[in-house]
Amino acid sequence: MESNYRILVVDDDDDILTSARLLLKQRYAKVVTISDPQVLNHNLSKHHPDLVLLDMNFRRGVNDGREGMYWLEHIMEVSPKTQVVLMTAYGEVELAVAAIKKGAYDFVLKPWTNEKLISTLDNALRLGREQKKVEQLEQTKTSLEESLGLTPEDLVSRSSAMRQVLETIQKVSATDANILLLGENGTGKSVLAMTLHRLSHRNRNSFITVDLGALNENLFESELFGHKKGAFTDAHADKPGRFEVAHEGTIFLDEIGNLPLSLQAKLLTIIQNRKVTRLGENRERQVDVRLITATNMPIRQMVNEGSFRQDLLYRINTVEIEVPPLRQRQEDIPILAKRFLDRFSKKYHKPKLYFSEEAIDRLCDYHWPGNIRELEHAIERAVIMNEGQEIQNFGLQLEENGSLRPDDLNLESMEKHLIVKALEKYKGNISRAASELGITRAALYRRMEKHDI
């Protein structure tokens, strides 16, 4: 049985409905039959069919197929992801071809042969499944890009250092070479990894991100390689690992410098053999993935100190790309700031905002220890707090945005720093920020007024 597929059959002939139901229920999870297309809407919303097998004529003595065309267009409008296969008599083939042009997948002639009908439905369902996979991948990519702050289309640069990075990415993206991205936190390594995937021949398949720095050591093998039901206490079902999910796509291992030595050997084996074995199984599974890794740590120094395996480094850095910090690409700050301003102006329904010349100068003069991520947060905060159309220098609040100097031990500055950090963390939610700081809402309001936050 083809699991989970739902079929809706629409025909005014009870014999046709019975024959179709008896045949199709042997293969598909759910088969619903109706004789009156007037109840089509109800059945579409109730059963959410993956495919509708639709007759072209419903009134006795009428064989022009207009009703079928009408209901086809209706299905395309109210349920565009549903595949439609038409049932037609031999003399209506020309009309059926016209229906295909309007969105039907195919047609079958009545009386049908069982093999031909099943083959047509299977092909239609397979197409629908692939279309949904592509759509889900696009949604996932869009969601990830938004969470990263920049999209690959935002990767324009006036700085020579960053242009060199982008040129390298253009050269290597079409290959399957393993890429190691080096650079400080917040420089956009995740965005560059996504860009490498989107420019590659794997771009219609999965882009899977794994934050190795946040991955529990005890769950490392289960998350990356998968597990069999019963392999450990909470393994209630079989689960593929991230490498399997990324098959024929790209896997991005972020913060690889945080991986303990004991786990580096296991990762090296997978990279070398291109095979994974789920926990609790003996079976090896072939995986075809493009590997991209990133770290903000001094990885060569770690090799010299013995905290990172040299053979693993050789495996992951076929091409090594150093991503410059924002302070080394000041020419790009106005471009990036404008991109963020456009995005957050739209998000917070303030479409006419712009920077004053003094604000742009302040942005360019600032040292940005948090890099692009800090710039993004600064612009978002300015958009939220700004009351006019012009964002001025003081509206950027760069002195109190959490970028304290390491030697700044002033209590007033530290209090300001902590308050702003808490407000940023909870996106302006006073109650949650106050709770995080261990004070009451009223006390937080007093301190915000004191520091002009």
User: Per the domain annotation, does 65 fall within a domain?
Assistant: yes
Q: Domain check: are 177 and 315 in the same one?
A: yes
The per-residue pLDDT for 173 is: 92
Model confidence at 405: pLDDT above 50: no
The per-residue pLDDT for 401 is: 44
Share of the chain above pLDDT 90, in %: 37
Q: Domain check: are 254 and 284 in the same one?
A: yes
User: Per the domain annotation, does 141 fall within a domain?
Assistant: no
The average pLDDT across 124-137 equals 74
CATH code, 110: 3.40.50.2300
The percent helix, strand, coil of the chain (3-state, each to 5) is 50, 15, 30
Q: Domain check: are 280 and 153 in the same one?
A: yes
Contacts of 10 (CB under 8 A, 6+ apart): 33, 34, 35, 37, 40, 52, 53, 54, 55, 71
User: Per the domain annotation, does 169 fall within a domain?
Assistant: yes
Task: Please provide the average confidence, as pLDDT, over all residues in the chain.
Answer: 84
Model confidence at 38: pLDDT above 50: yes
Q: Domain check: are 104 and 159 in the same one?
A: no
Q: Which domain holds residue 100?
A: 2-131
User: Per the domain annotation, does 271 fall within a domain?
Assistant: yes
Model confidence at 149: pLDDT above 80: no
Model confidence at 152: pLDDT above 90: no
pLDDT tens by residue, 263-309: 999 999 999 999 998 888 888 888 999 999 999 989 999 999 999 99
Q: Domain check: are 95 and 115 in the same one?
A: yes
Share of the chain above pLDDT 70, in %: 88
206 or 429: whose pLDDT is higher? Answer: 206
Indicate the pTM of the whole model. 0.59
| Number of structural domains in the chain | 3
Contacts of 404 (CB under 8 A, 6+ apart): 413, 414, 417
CA–CA distance, 3 with 12 (Å, rounded to integer): 28
Model confidence at 400: pLDDT above 50: no
For residue 239, give both structure tokens. 């689960």
Structural domain ending residue among the three candidates 272, 299, 324: 324
Q: Domain check: are 312 and 197 in the same one?
A: yes
Q: Domain check: are 282 and 429 in the same one?
A: no
Q: Domain check: are 310 and 231 in the same one?
A: yes
CB neighbour burial string for 431-440, b if at least 16 within 10 angstroms, e if fewer: eebbebbebe
Q: Which residues pair with 109 in a beta bridge?
A: 88
DSSP 8-state assignment for residue 279: B
User: Per the domain annotation, does 390 fall within a domain?
Assistant: yes
The per-residue pLDDT for 151 is: 55
Dihedral (Cα; 224, 228, 230, 236), 10-degree rounding: 80
pLDDT tens by residue, 219-254: 888 889 888 888 888 777 778 889 988 889 999 999
User: Per the domain annotation, does 143 fall within a domain?
Assistant: no
CATH code, 366: 1.10.8.60
User: Per the domain annotation, does 78 fall within a domain?
Assistant: yes
Q: Which residues pair with 322 in a beta bridge?
A: 182
The per-residue pLDDT for 147 is: 47
pLDDT tens by residue, 325-374: 998 999 999 999 999 999 999 999 998 899 999 999 989 988 888 899 88
Q: Domain check: are 306 and 425 in the same one?
A: no
User: Angle at CA 343, nearest 5°, toward 338 and 346?
Assistant: 120
Confidence class for position 412, pLDDT limits 50, 70, 90: low
Dihedral (Cα; 180, 216, 418, 345), 10-degree rounding: 60
Q: Domain check: are 121 and 154 in the same one?
A: no
User: Per the domain annotation, does 230 fall within a domain?
Assistant: yes
Structural domain ending residue among the three candidates 324, 339, 356: 324
CATH code, 296: 3.40.50.300
Q: Domain check: are 121 and 163 in the same one?
A: no
Model confidence at 3: pLDDT above 70: no
CA–CA distance, 93 with 99 (Å, rounded to integer): 10
Phi-psi region of 371 (alpha: psi -120 to 50; beta: other; left: phi over 0): left
The average pLDDT across 64-71 equals 82
Structural domain ending residue among the three candidates 301, 324, 347: 324
Model confidence at 191: pLDDT above 80: yes
Q: Domain check: are 76 and 157 in the same one?
A: no
Confidence class for position 101, pLDDT limits 50, 70, 90: confident
Model confidence at 131: pLDDT above 90: no
